[in-house]
Each structure stands twice: as C-alpha cells, then as structure tokens.
Amino acid sequence: MKNDTVLNIEVEQIKASKIDQVDFDNLDFGKVFTDYMFVCDYSEGEWKKPEIVPYQPITIDPSAKVFHYGQAVFEGMKAYKDDNDDVWLFRPDENFRRINLSSQRLAIPEFPEEFFFEGLKTLLQLEKNWIQKGFGNSLYLRPFVIATEPGVSASPSSDYKFMIICSPAKAYYSGEVRVKIAEKFSRAADGGVGFAKAAGNYAAQFYPTSLANAQGYQQIIWTDASSHEYLEEAGTMNVFFRIGDKLLTSPNNDRILDGVTRKSVIALAEDAGIDVEVRRVSVKEVIEAAENDNLKEIFGSGTAAVINPISGFAFQDKKFELPKLEDSYAGYFKKTLMDIQYNNSEDKFGWRYKI
Ligand SMILES: *Cc1c(COP(=O)(O)O)cnc(C)c1O
C-alpha cells in the first residue's frame, strides 16, 4: 500500500479483513478490535522505527516491569466519520500532550509528536471501513505505553512499547447513573498520579467502586483525599454541577485528570453565555442545593460517553434524586459537542482534525 505520510510508516498487510464477522449493531464497548495495530519500541535511549502490523497478541517476558511496578499510561480518543465519508479526530493535540505528561510522571520517555500523528493517520486510513457513519458511531482509539524491560529490580524500565489499538463503538447509553460520594476511599492524593492517565489509577478504584455497585450505585464521585469535603471527579469522567443556572466544576489539580471533554464543555458554556465557575465545589453546598430544590443537574464528561447525566446520588445515609429537565445543560453540551465532532456544525474553536 502506498501512503503519503512523511514517515512512510511500514505496514505489514493483513491476509483478510475480519470486518465481515463483526455485528456493528450489537457492539459491546471495547470488545472488538480492528485489523491492524500501531507499534513502536523504545530501547537504547530512543524510539525505534514505528510500524503497523496485523492486530495480534504480543509476547512479553514475565519479568517485564509493567507487570511488577505498573509503568503504564494510556489515552482514549475517537475517530468520527461524516456524511461525506471524511474522517475526523477531536482535539488530538490534547491527547498527545497528555500522554507525554502522564509518561513524564511515571518516568516513561516521551513519545515523538510526528510518530504519534503519522501513526494515527496511517492507521485510520487503513481502518476507514471500521468507522461507521451515523451520529454516535465511532472508532475508539486506545494509545498506550508499557514498560517491557525484563527484570524485577525496582527501577524505571529501559525498554518500552507504545501501541495504538482501535475498537468500533456505538453511541454509549449507560442508562440511569446513580453515584455515591466518597467519604473513606480516595483515588488520588496530593503530589500523586491522579492527574496522569496511569493504568494504576483505575486499579485503585475498582474495589471501592465494586462496593458502591453492590449498594446500587454505578459510580463514585471522588472527593479530595485529605478532607473528603470537596467534589473532584467521577472516576472515569470529570464532573459538573448545575446549581440554579450556574455551572460548577472543580479546578484541575494533581488529583484530577485534565479532561479534553471537560475543557471543551467549559469553553462551550462560556461561549453560550452560561455562568460557569471553575472552583472547589463542596459536598455541603451541593447537598444544601439539593435540599432546597436548587440542584438541577450533575453530569460527567469524558470521551467515551461525551456527557453522562447523573440521575441521583447518595452521601452517607442521605439519598437524592435529580429532576428530569427538558432543556438540560447536559443535553445541550452533548449535542453541541457531537455536532462539532461529526462535522455537522461550524468548528469555531478549531477542534476538528481531518484525517
Ligand atoms: C480519561 C479520563 C477522563 C476524561 O477525559 P477526556 O479527555 O474528556 O476523555 C476523566 N477522568 C479520568 C480519571 C480519566 O481517566
């Protein structure tokens, strides 16, 4: 195959596509993967020649550092196809910047910008058929880096593997989401790795989340680790509160993931003249607002679900249900963001990136 990228990434062709075996109407999120994957190895102090090969298992030594010391970071992005069959990414420069910030915190060498973008472009040109048209359909992209050096001595790995795998996704409907406000466990602490998209941050929240699941809550809203008095994020999403007509969300800090969707929502809110305050949001004020019928909405923001409205929450033994609004901020942001992502509307912020 000929491609016109600068790097001319080498492609090992598949023998036959798996696409005919896929039921695109019944996709479980993140279960099916496409024909190809992007791979680039790091050793002897440099990232070697990147390549694209058929999707397949990889062989890693059992002593590889990723298994023992958790040097692993990742990203989550989506590719969208518009009605003219053009393929788009949404603010991929943000994902590139963030994976290197995450890497830096975990002592992983930064990945070169040219490799990242040429890798994505070449991969998406090969996988074009896997991106289904239609509002809500997308190809979920998972770039990640793992430490591959064999040896169980506790030090940063000398070898790494950077990969991108792709999974076709349908519009994400989570159903009703009720959340529990954390009062004991924390997902991140001051000076820690909460701001990084580090694999271990997820491991640390699975157990507390499973306890919340057993009580009928789908997610936890994490609070600050020292006082548990301020609301920070919803696990895999950033979180927004609407009190009256004012939109509130916590500022970023070293415990909170700097979400691309979050910063896009803040920009759209300002643009729409919505009163948005980026400041610490206390559990106390949210409960008071709920008791006074002034708490209108809580929603999460993240690439997978875009905007995920929360229908109720609990704190200690108090339970609250949120009103079902006709004109919700959540609905507005979801539609406005998706219209930009799918090339259905003007892109006045310059967020779309054409493949
Ligand atoms: C990825 C992630 C988000 C959402 O970030 P987006 O860039 O909007 O997808 C929020 N919180 C956590 C913990 C995350 O890992």
Q: Can you give the chain as a three-state secondary structure string?
A: CCCCCCCCCEECCCCCCCHHHCCCCCCCCCCCCCCEEEEEEEECCEECCCEEEECCCCCCCCCCHHHHHCCEEECCEEEEECCCCCEEEECHHHHHHHHHHHHHHCCCCCCCHHHHHHHHHHHHHHCHHHCCCCCCCEEEEEEEEEECCCCCCCCCCCCEEEEEEEEEECCCCCCCCEEEECCCCCCCCCCCCCCCCEHHHHHHHHHHHHHHHHCCCCEEEEECCCCCCEEEECCCCEEEEEECCEEEECCCCCCCCCCHHHHHHHHHHHHCCCCEEECCEEHHHHHHHHHCCCEEEEEEEECCCEEEECCEEEECCEEEECCCCCCCHHHHHHHHHHHHHCCCCCCCCCCEEEC
Residue-averaged pLDDT of the chain:
95
Lowest mean pLDDT among 5-9, 18-22, 71-75: 5-9
pLDDT at residue 259 is higher than 80: yes
The pLDDT tens digits for 153-212 are 999 999 999 999 999 999 876 778 999 999 999 999 999 999 999 999 999 999 999 999
Are 343 and 79 contacting, i.e. CB atoms less than 8 angstroms apart? no
The residue whose CA is least distant from atom 10 of ligand 1 is 237
Which residues neighbour 176 within 8 Å (Cβ) at sequence distance 6 or greater? 311, 312
Better-predicted residue by pLDDT, 234 or 235: 234
Q: Kindly state the percentage of the chain with pLDDT values over 90.
A: 94
**Gap from CA of 303 to ligand 1 centroid (Å):** 7
Q: What is the pLDDT of residue 5?
A: 47
Q: List C-alpha distances in Å: 2 to 13, 18, 142.
A: 12, 22, 25
Better-predicted residue by pLDDT, 278 or 6: 278
Q: Which atom of ligand 1 is nearest to the CA of 77?
A: 9
Q: Which atom of ligand 1 is nearest to the CA of 187?
A: 13
pLDDT at residue 61 is higher than 60: yes
Q: State the pTM of this model.
A: 0.95
Q: Is 167 in the pocket of ligand 1 (CB under 6 A)?
A: no
What are the residue ranges of CATH 3.20.10.10 in the chain? 178-341
Return the half-sphere exposure (C-beta side, CA atoms, 13 A cut-off) of residue 65.
20
* Fold of the CATH domain 178-341: D-amino Acid Aminotransferase; Chain A, domain 2 (3.20.10)
Q: Is 236 in the pocket of ligand 1 (CB under 6 A)?
A: yes
Pocket test for ligand 1, best of 142, 232, 238, 299 (most atoms within 8 A of CB): 238
The residue whose CA is least distant from atom 5 of ligand 1 is 259
**pLDDT-derived band of residue 102, with 50, 70 and 90 as boundaries?**
very high
Could you tell me which CATH class the domain 10-171 is placed in?
Answer: alpha beta
pLDDT at residue 16 is higher than 90: yes
pLDDT at residue 293 is higher than 70: yes
CA 184 remoteness from chain centre: 25
**pLDDT-derived band of residue 108, with 50, 70 and 90 as boundaries?**
very high
**Gap from CA of 6 to ligand 1 centroid (Å):** 31
Q: What is the pLDDT of residue 6?
A: 56
What are the residue ranges of CATH 3.30.470.10 in the chain? 10-171
